[in-house]
Chains A and B, each alone.
Chain A
């Protein structure tokens, strides 16, 4: 059990577990947190998991964890670890089962006053057009050859099929397509699971949410991002569905033998890994990239469905209400990136699990429109609470592998949330605050109770004070659709 006295305080917002804490650590753990949030973090096993993550072979620098961190399986949620490319390892469990789970934000020019009379209908139409819940099918069904084209081309597939615009693609991390995706490295079972799930949300903490841009804190950057105070926005949170889950399941199984072949010893079998330049590592990289492309398309199809719901709601009632894409970010991913380490620029594989890429101004590869501002960082709050739009900074490039927080972060177990809250009560309470709720499962709703999460404002204040992101705008929920 890690205790507060095991940590060195760097500043009010940064702490460190030294490499000397345990003999098998290959680097320190850097924690972005206030003292108050740290006490919540110490309440579960997330820091032990971060220490375990620091044993990955080829680790470069520190494992970094965000203030929204919490216990996961193997690797903590809110964790970032970089391994040297190509000799270092890639670990499927350090990316997670929901490969390229992420968030998309769409902005509009629809003012709240004009939208209010139609919000109820909008919530119902979003619920109707964005399939959610356990066992649901997506809005598009394809055959295997078509799926393989989708896995290779990502959002470009959606563009070709008429589900995306050029602007959508330009405003997506990696332009919605990871190169060198290898559909042939997915099992038949993974593909089968994906065939009928394209454009579906799933269950758990995934959602489609209509928000109000309640306040803009940096007008110039908000303008670049396309956000207007007092207008509606839409957040979409989901990932690669059963296809991604199967890819991770398959490779975590396969890598159980790979670690023995490469003589890798780890404190947790969920962290199994293989060198990136090994046949096993190459196979997983190709499969993971294909699953990531599936997730980009999935969110694109949900955006397409959301636009359809807006069209049916506002056609003939409002003019010029276009939903334009602010950005689409990944928060479960392994990416080959170049970072400055002790004065040298080196290639690393950055594993982000429940952490958002937060590239600062001037970072090579960032879209031209974000070169001055830094990239948008989307931080959804818990259901019924504030969400934030932040921007990446130069400091995030130096201190956190170009990463920031991804949400509020759970603090209460699902079983306790189900025990303490009733879904129906929660729905009534949120509706009484003017938030429209459409949920497939009341038990699932109870698990996502806002009190089961940390205070997202405190999380955001921490990353901003630490300098690894800056505030752009705050969003307030108006309607939530959940599985």
Chain B
């Protein structure tokens, strides 16, 4: 998400697209690696929610998460952003992420998030679901479809 840029602009240039779902929102995201996939998923979620940031002041938040698999880590990461948006009225447009495979097949994420207060948001996302959630390796890297409850 870039300040002042419309959601439509995003869909033209970003590696994610909305896919049809009768009641909720579904997003297909692709990226060269896992770190970028997480970042683009966050940006895609902001875009479909129509989130716009205030110009200033800029804020930073640290985040540290662990999960049993890549999909659970993605749900946890996006759920953190849903919580920041609802509870603190904060959203982020810069993501300095590190994702590492930990012991016992766990995955760890550490992040420095940079963003600002939400100036406007068209729609609220209730939750990030596991519905048919599967991070696939493809020729172009990684791909995932995420269904959001709205």
Contact = CB atoms under 8 A, between A and B. Distances in A.
Are A and B associated in one complex? yes
Interface of A: 44, 46, 70-74, 77, 93, 96-98, 134-135, 189, 192-193, 202-204, 242, 245-246, 248-249, 252-253, 256-257, 268-270, 272, 410-416, 441, 443-444, 447
Nearest to B132: A268
B108 interface: no
Nearest to B49: A134
Contacts of B133: 269-270
B20 A416 contact: yes
Which DSSP category, helix, strand, loop or mixed, fits chain B's interface?
loop
Contacts of A248: 127
B22 A269 contact: no
A135 B89 contact: yes
Given A46-B22, A135-B89, A415-B20, A73 B124 contact: no
A40 to B, nearest CB: 10
Contact of A97 (B118, B127, B132): B127
Contact of B24 (A73, A246, A257, A443): A73
B68 A134 contact: no
Given A252-B130, A253-B72, 8 more contacts: A73-B147, A74-B131, A245-B127, A253-B75, A268-B131, A269-B71, A414-B25, A414-B150
**Contact residue range for chain B?**
35 or more
Contact of A256 (B22, B68, B123): B68
Contact of A413 (B21, B89, B123): B21
A135 B131 contact: no
A192 B132 contact: no
Given A134-B121, A134-B123, A268-B132, A413 B22 contact: yes
A447 B75 CA distance: 25
Contact of B86 (A135, A253, A272): A135
Counting chain A CB atoms within 10 Å of each CB, the highest count among B20, B79, B128, B129 belongs to B129
A73 B149 contact: yes
Nearest to A250: B79
Contacts of B83: 189, 193, 246
B127 A135 contact: no
Given A73-B147, A134-B123, A249 B79 contact: yes
A73 B146 CA distance: 10
A188 to B, nearest CB: 12
Contact of A203 (B124, B131, B147): B124
